[in-house]
Amino acid sequence: MKRHLWILACLSALVAVGCGSDPSKPEVHNPKVPMGSTVAVISFRDCTIVDQDDCKGSGETTAAIFMAQLGTSQIFHVVTLPRPVDAAAELTDQAAADYAKSKGYAFVLNGEVTDYFKAAAFSGWWRKERGALSVHLLSTTDAKILYLHSDQDTANNGTGSPQGIMKSMADDVRDGIEDN
């Protein structure tokens, strides 16, 4: 009896796995931008947490990380645009779209770093390093949001860094825009 149940369980598993995908059909992807498009990346807004020294420059650092990671895309190309307002000032999606459109781009990535904290090495393992952001991929035609990604994460002191956290988020954004 146990042998029959085991065989039935194995057959059920094989049927379930076999029915889950059809290797004869290609996987369908719906990228957020057409193949070969260029996405302008505006330096992100610095986080604005009071008395958190790591916030200063966090937007430019994170934008550079995003440029490196998004630059590996097989779907789109990226270019950087300098931030047209102060690093800590808000840049609305409409203003970002208008700015990128005036430079000749059809798509723009606008965003803000909402947390960026690097724990001091001597502060102990219990101090977490943090990173958080919100980015919007916009069409410059109408400032419509084509893709939105908000994320936050932590890493143990000494095992990660806000840069590593942001790199992982940039990979997620690239995959999301490519629809992988």
Per-residue pLDDT band at 17 (split at 50, 70, 90): very low
* pLDDT above 70 as % of the chain: 78
The two tokens of residue 15 are 């049927």
What is residue 155's predicted lDDT score, i.e. its pLDDT? 84
Per-residue pLDDT band at 97 (split at 50, 70, 90): very high
Per-residue pLDDT band at 123 (split at 50, 70, 90): low
Class of domain 32-178 (CATH, top level): alpha beta
What is residue 128's predicted lDDT score, i.e. its pLDDT? 84
pTM exceeds 0.85, yes or no: no
What is residue 30's predicted lDDT score, i.e. its pLDDT? 80
Contact 90, 120 (CB under 8 A): no
Contact 27, 71 (CB under 8 A): no
What is residue 148's predicted lDDT score, i.e. its pLDDT? 97
**167 has a pLDDT exceeding 70:** yes
What are the extents of the domains in the chain? 32-178
Average pLDDT over residues 147-156: 92
**61 has a pLDDT exceeding 80:** yes
- Other Cβ atoms less than 10 A from the Cβ of 59: the count is 24
Average pLDDT over residues 32-39: 96
Give the Cα separation of 41 and 77 in Å (integer).
Answer: 10
**5 has a pLDDT exceeding 60:** no
Give the sheet arrangement for strand 128-139, strand by strand: 77-81, 38-42, 107-117, 128-139, 145-156
Interval 137-150: pLDDT, tens: 999 999 999 999 99
**45 has a pLDDT exceeding 90:** yes
**156 has a pLDDT exceeding 50:** yes
* pLDDT above 90 as % of the chain: 67
- Tell which wins on pLDDT, 125 or 129: 129
**20 has a pLDDT exceeding 60:** no
